[in-house]
Chains A and B, each alone.
Chain A
Amino acid sequence: MREDKKTILEVNKISKNFPGVRALREVSISLRVGEIVGLVGENGAGKSTLVKVLAGIYRPDGGKILIDGVEVQLNNPWEAEKQGLAFVHQQLNLVPSFDIVDNAFLGKWVRGRGGIANRLAMKKQLQEICQQFGFTLEFSTLAKELTTSEQWMVQIVRAFLEQPKILVMDEPTAALSDQEVKSLFETVKKIAAQGVAIIYVSHKLNEIFTLCDKIVVLRNGEKVWEGSNGEISQSELIAKMVGEGRVKSSFVTAEVGKDKILEVQSLSDGSKIKEVTFEVYEREVFGIYGLQGSGRTELVEMLFGLRSKEKGEVRLKEKTFSPTSPEKAIAEGVALVPEDRTREGLVTKHPVIDNIALPHLSRYAGLLGYFKEGELRSIARGVLDKLRVSYRGLREPVQFLSGGNQQKVVLAKWLIGDFSLLLLDEPTSGVDVGARRELYELMHKLASEGWAVVVISSDLEEMMEINPHRVMVMREGRVVGILSPEEISRENILSLCYRSE
């Protein structure tokens, strides 16, 4: 019956160029009232650019945007908002020292008498929206004290203050638990039923298939496919996103060695990590699965010298290992691909070579502290080629690379020199489908070369796709089970995760 609903948003042949990049090429999309359109594509396909054009952050170089059949100019975020567009952005934009109420109403404060912010009214409105979503939030909590998923909730709530006509959601579920995702979907559907048109951007194809009426695929800034949900299978959709020429590769899984690389015994930090015990062998890909708050990231921080231990013992290659700083962990042969690439992994405005050089500066020091860049250059090129990074030159700032290539640069930092343990914390967040597969493949390749690879993920599908030798499941700071190859299955992992005591 959607056919007789009227079109509310029409994006007509929008183009956007950046120096050296055509981010969008004559992309057209239309949305009807109450329709949920899934926007998919690899990183760098143009999804975020399109979202930013709609948000009034970027001005398009060509094309038209029509709302209710009237051409509109979206020159800044306020105009976009006035036209009835609301956004839940990929990045979290909260003021750390403000509480939930102030963040949700930032710039939209409800004024009482004399222009004084009416917190009571704001709280009431928040209460209503939270109830509608099934979110439980303590409104007086400061943003800096919120978990990532709570920060997302605030963003989502904020988007709904203005009763938008069109809602754009850019990867809203990245940090939400399955339960939270479920309730979010229910809400999204409820809102759509009330007549709001929704653009839903996600890397998670199962979400797209669950939620969306229509699917639009972008590739290299162009629309390559558009159709209704049900017309296409997941593998066909992936093929559209990835394009021709790239086939799914099956990983070469190496035989796990006998030597223990990492032994962790009753490790505790006094708060988030409790009595964690496990070991990882040479040539093993070891998965750690846990939801937000399970202690998985904290465990990595302890192994990398970022968090101090209270008790327990860690041995690396049979020697006692208790690093007090990343520098010491690195010196012992531990490498980390951190969770947040742009915050922890890269100096994004600096060139590729400078980023790769960082952990190795003292190795490439000559007379008077001279940095032997020339010597590192050829080695860096070799590593980047091995990882199949596409980059224009070693002096290209990493911020101009796609998410997948950026992540490979982070990985490249550790492929120079003597390392034995590679820790990867959510290595594919913000990485497109094609590059994800490559990263999984690389993990196994590095393992076959003798590394012990520890990969952390809160995405079950991803964990299954990585196909690790063993999976350890964490919950509330404890190890609740380590699954052998025969035991690894979605059901077993989830039952460990949610099993009640």
Chain B
Amino acid sequence: MRSILKNYGTLLALLVLIILFSFLKPQAFFTLRNFINITQQVSILMMVAIGATYILAISEFDLSLSYLVSFAGVMVAGMMVANFNPWFSTVLSLALCVAFGALNGWLIANLNLPSFVTTLATGTLLGGITFWYSGGTIIFSGIPESFLVLGQESIVGFPLSSIFMFILIFISWYVLVKTILGRALYAVGGNEIAARYSGVRVAKVKIIAFVMAAFHSGLAGIVLTSKLGSAHPTAGGGYLMQSYAAAFLGTTLFREGEANIWGTFVGAMIMGVLANGLTMLNVPYFLQDIFTGAILVGALILRTSREL
């Protein structure tokens, strides 16, 4: 029993939450429609959390993720307002995010700067650029209808953003679990020195992780703008803590103490189910934060006690 709780405690917590809300709100909560809704509600968070998973896999931090979400969202909207093609705007915004991630990685891997402070600095810088570019206000008029498809439309009842999220989950699962890059990423995270002594190109691997994180955060920003039909320079703010919370919760599952995609997904779903269920019960917003925080502390206690 104790070992089940330790190994699957987080999954159990998700089930308990689902059962609880199903009893409290049977008609509204426990329906297929609502579960599909929840996957849509967590899709943007999950994209950022995929990025956080890469960063945690190499045992570093990236505090610039939320700034990247805002930046990509504002950038893509601003370009379209300036009459650029939506595809071109999307690709260019993502390319800038990738370049920014590479810069983070280079500073951290090649100049040996500490990731926590470095990404705080570069993130702040990016936040400033985002404000400057947007003029500090919300961008909403002039975004073409075709751009809103990704964030708002569905195919046979499945929201496109959910489908997109699952495709991204699958790709990152493949990268992290099935490829040589995945082994290198986890090796760098597990013991950077031993990885270097084994011929792993540590700097390159770290840069790739920061690029992946920036790319997924950028995607999240673009989907967010598409979903809202508008872009705001601080729109990404809430995603940093939530994405790390999801990824940390995920480290308690599947892969002994290490970040992994499906674990992160369970973590994101816990937060999605909590938000969805509590909203149905008309619980004030701050209580959701209290619950999320408490669950995170519980998961960390379980994880640490397992390491003994």
Contacting A371 at CB < 8 Å: which of B179, B191, B199, B200? B179
B210 close to A (CB within 8 Å): no
Whether the pair A354, B186 counts as a contact (CB closer than 8 A) is yes
Among B186, B196, B201, point to the contact of A350 (Cβ < 8 A).
Answer: B186
Closest beta carbon of chain B to A277's beta carbon, Å: 26
Contact A347:B195 (CB < 8 A) given known A364-B180, A365-B180: yes
B125 part of interface (Cβ distance < 8 Å): no
Contact partner of B196 (CB less than 8 A), chosen from A326, A331, A354, is A326
B201 (CB) vs chain A CBs: closest residue: A327
A33: CB under 8 A from chain B? no
- Using A345-B194, A347-B191 as known contacts, say yes or no to A327 and B179 having CB atoms under 8 A apart: no
* Cβ-defined partner of A343 (8 Å) among B179, B183, B194: B194
The CA-CA distance from A153 to B156 in the complex, in Å, is 72
Contact residue among A345, A349, A365, A370 (Cβ-Cβ distance under 8 Å from B197): A345
* A361 on interface, CB distance cutoff 8 Å: yes
Number of B residues near A (Cβ < 8 Å) is 24
Quick check: is B46 within 8 A (CB to CB) of the other chain?
no
A349-384 CB contacts (< 8 Å) to partner B: 349-350, 354, 357-359, 361-362, 364-365, 368-371
Q: Which of A306, A331, A357 has its CB near the most chain B CB atoms (within 10 A)?
A: A357
Whose C-beta in chain A lies nearest to the C-beta of B200?
A358
A330 part of interface (Cβ distance < 8 Å):
yes
Query: Once the chains bind, are A358 and B186 in contact (CB under 8 Å)?
Result: no
Whole-angstrom distance between the alpha carbons of A327 and B201 in the complex? 7
Please pick, from A343, A349, A369, the residue contacting B193 in the complex, using a CB distance under 8 A.
A343
Task: Scan A31-46; emit 1 where CB is below 8 A from any B CB, else 0.
Answer: 0000000000000000
CB of A344 within 8 Å of the partner chain: yes
Known pairs A345-B194, A350-B190; A358 contacts B183 (CB<8 A): yes
Known: A350-B187, A369-B180, A371-B179. A361 touches B200 (CB 8 A): yes
Asked if B181 is an interface residue, CB under 8 A from chain A, the answer is yes
Contact call B199/A327, Cβ cutoff below 8 A: yes
Q: Are A326 and B181 in contact (CB under 8 A)?
A: no
Instruction: Write the B163-191 contact mask toward A (1 if CB under 8 angstroms, else 0).
Output: 00000000000110011111110110011
- Decide yes or no: A354 and B197 within 8 Å by CB, A347-B190, A347-B191 being known contacts: no
In the complex, are the beta carbons of B190 and A326 less than 8 A apart? no
Answer yes or no: A430 CB below 8 A from chain B CBs. Answer: no
**Chain A residue at smallest Cβ distance from B256:** A349
Chain A nearest CB, measured from B157 CB (Å): 31
B257 lies within 8 A of chain A by Cβ: yes
Q: Please tell me which one of the listed residues B174, B190, B195, B198 contacts residue A349 in the complex, with CB atoms under 8 A apart.
A: B190
A454 at the interface (CB under 8 A from B): no
Interface bits B198-225 vs A (CB < 8 Å: 1, else 0): 1111000000000000000000000000
B positions within 8 Å CB-CB of A: 174-175, 178-184, 186-187, 190-191, 193-201, 256-257
